[in-house]
């Protein structure tokens, strides 16, 4: 037993130093220190050796460059090139999925020279784009994503902008717009969806706004109005001069007709409007004609967006041709009462007295009404139309407005 014990101790005594040296030599810190020492010695010897003969120089024009120095520069450039290639490895070669698609960071220099289908990571490392690139930009078909991983846009690109046809989505991935684009904006024919996914509008667009022929839909995907749009809203002035039958064809939402002698007011709540229609007794046409359109909104659409004050109206409609108090007409009374019924507060001077008899579900006969109810009017003249904004005296805002033709015969 003593013999074997002595033998094991002897073997252990010889092996332990070897194991200690092995552990030392395989430590990353030792390896790094050793490599650093070798490189330091190499560059010191290379740069410190002074050329002794003209053959130790390269002649470059009138300059003489040490061959040792040139060699050191080549080594340094080589090392830096290896580091650069390593850092750009994911862009030079396919990603980990082995699907042949190269992946780049958004600021990768090599991305400027890439062509074909690639993936691009955003600043925080998320997958921001997958699709075609060329000439240093997104060109062709591609998909753009937000940091949450939802698709923002899927379709055609040109110079990294939405161009052509595609689908645009809300930030939660719900479809927002489907159709034609130009320089990131809705331009051409398309379909607009609400945040709950229901279809809102289908038709023509320009500069991200409804512009041209189109159709509005309710929350149940049912069409409620088909006609002309401008500045992202219905072109209400286009209804002036139309026959009653044309209005019925254009508007298929809820409605109520108010009849008073030769005047008929058509209330269309789904488009926040009323038309005032008159029957021309001298005409052989038995259909009533729209002479006024009431827009039941406290804002007026412009190319820069909706405006709500008279000061803001001046750049678009000029100076008013009339400002003053007036007794309310029947359509004004009806509009005031509708707005008061829909509001939690008081609109204008509150609702006005009116005597009405409901004959059918969508037909009401009007008798008397408060003919001394006062309104304050601001009337503007623009392109053959009169725009009258209804408010209270002393206010810079309005409650609604209506449009009529200066000469209806020019509209028909």
CATH topology for 99-228 is: Outer Surface Protein A; domain 3 (3.90.930)
Task: Please say whether the beta carbons of 223 and 217 come within 8 A.
Answer: yes
Which string of b and e fits 165-193 if b means at least 16 CB within 10 Å? Answer: ebbbbeeeeebbbbbbbbeebbbeebbbb
Task: Please say whether the beta carbons of 153 and 166 come within 8 A.
Answer: yes
Q: Give per-residue pLDDT as tens, 157-184.
A: 999 999 999 999 999 999 999 999 999 9
For the chain, residues with pLDDT lower than 70 are 1-10, 12-13, 19, 21, 24-25, 39-40, 42-69, 83-99, 280-286, 408-412
Rounded to whole angstroms, how far apart are CA atoms 379 and 260?
25
Which string of b and e fits 270-283 if b means at least 16 CB within 10 Å? Answer: ebbbbbbbeeeeee
Rounded to whole angstroms, how far apart are CA atoms 181 and 62?
61
Residues sharing a CB contact under 8 Å with residue 327, sequence separation 6 or more, in sequence order: 371, 372, 373, 374, 375
In degrees and rounded to multiples of 5, residue 47 shows phi and psi of -85, -20
pTM: 0.74
Domain-wise residue ranges, the chain: 99-228, 241-410
Number of H helices and number of E strands within the chain? 7, 24
Q: How far apart are the first and last CA of the chain?
A: 125
Rounded to whole angstroms, how far apart are CA atoms 229 and 226?
9
Pairing of strands 233-234, 256-260: unpaired
Q: Which two tokens stand for residue 213?
A: 């022929």
Closest CA to 43 of 81, 80, 73, 82: 73
pLDDT of residue 42: 66
Chain mean position to CA 314:
29
In degrees and rounded to multiples of 5, residue 306 shows phi and psi of -70, 140
Q: Which two tokens stand for residue 71?
A: 């060699």
Chain mean position to CA 336:
36
Task: Please say whether the beta carbons of 207 and 229 come within 8 A.
Answer: no
Task: Please say whether the beta carbons of 315 and 380 come within 8 A.
Answer: no
């Amino acid at each position: 037993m003593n013999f074997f014990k002595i033998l094991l101790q002897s073997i252990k005594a010889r092996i332990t130093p070897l194991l200690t040296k092995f552990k030392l030599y395989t430590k990353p810190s030792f390896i790094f220190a050793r490599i650093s020492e070798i490189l330091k010695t190499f560059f010191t010897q290379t740069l410190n050796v002074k050329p002794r003969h003209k053959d130790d120089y390269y002649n470059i024009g009138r300059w003489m460059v040490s061959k040792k120095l040139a060699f050191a520069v080549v080594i340094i450039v080589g090392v830096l090139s290896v580091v650069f290639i390593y850092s750009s490895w994911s862009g030079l070669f396919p990603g980990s999925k082995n699907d042949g698609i190269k992946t780049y960071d958004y600021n990768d220099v090599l991305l400027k020279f890439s062509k074909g289908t690639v993936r691009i990571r955003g600043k925080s490392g998320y997958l921001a784009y997958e699709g075609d690139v060329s000439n240093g930009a997104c060109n062709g078909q591609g998909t753009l994503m937000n940091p949450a991983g939802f698709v923002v846009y899927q379709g055609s690109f040109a110079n990294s902008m939405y161009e052509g046809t595609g689908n645009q989505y809300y930030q939660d991935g719900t479809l927002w717009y489907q159709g034609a684009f130009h320089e990131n904006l809705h331009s051409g024919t398309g379909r607009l969806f609400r945040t709950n996914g229901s279809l809102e509008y289908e038709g023509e667009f320009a500069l991200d706004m409804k512009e041209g022929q189109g159709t509005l839909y309710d929350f149940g995907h049912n069409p409620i109005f088909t006609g002309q749009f401008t500045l992202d809203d219905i072109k209400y002035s286009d209804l002036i001069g139309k026959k009653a039958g044309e209005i019925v064809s254009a508007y298929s939402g809820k409605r109520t007709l108010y009849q008073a002698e030769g005047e008929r007011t058509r209330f269309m709540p789904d488009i926040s409007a009323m038309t005032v229609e008159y029957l021309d007794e001298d005409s052989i046409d038995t259909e009533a004609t729209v002479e006024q359109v009431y827009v039941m909104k406290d804002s007026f659409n412009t190319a820069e967006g909706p405006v709500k004050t008279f000061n803001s109206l001046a750049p678009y409609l000029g100076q008013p041709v009339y400002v003053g108090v007036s007794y309310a007409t029947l359509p004004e009374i009806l509009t005031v009462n509708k707005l008061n019924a829909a509001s939690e507060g008081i609109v204008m001077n509150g609702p006005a007295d009116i005597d009405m008899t409901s004959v059918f579900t969508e037909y009401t006969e009007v008798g008397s009404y408060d003919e001394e109810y006062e309104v304050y009017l601001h009337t503007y003249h623009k392109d053959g139309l009169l725009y009258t904004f209804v408010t209270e005296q002393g206010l810079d805002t309005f409650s609604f407005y209506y449009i009529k033709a200066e000469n209806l015969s020019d509209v028909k």
